[in-house]
Amino acid sequence: MEWINVKEKFPNETALLATKSKMVVIGDYYDGQWRVNGHWSHNGSTWISDYKFDDITHWMPLPEPPK
């Protein structure tokens, strides 16, 4: 899968989101705002719920879950 620039298109479902600060988050774009379900930093894992990011640069669809 390729990262999609948010300048080109916004996701219409929950997706992986990349931030300017090199984090990958799970969230969506709704009503003009990014809603983030949780995030993982590049040097460990941290969970944050109900957090809003303004620095989303790219996104990609979530992978299929394992069978």
* Residue in this structure with the two tokens 């996104």, named with its chain if needed: 59
Of how many residues is the chain composed?
A: 67
List, in sequence order, the alpha helices (H) in 1-67: none
- pLDDT, tens only, 35-48: 877 555 444 555 45
Distance CA 22, CA 40 (A): 10
- pLDDT average, residue stretch 8-13: 94
Is 90 exceeded by the pLDDT of residue 54? no
The type of residue at 67 is K
- Residue 10: phi and psi, rounded to 5, are -100, 150
- pLDDT value of position 50: 46
Give the closest residue to 1 by CA, choosing from 30, 22, 24, 20. 24
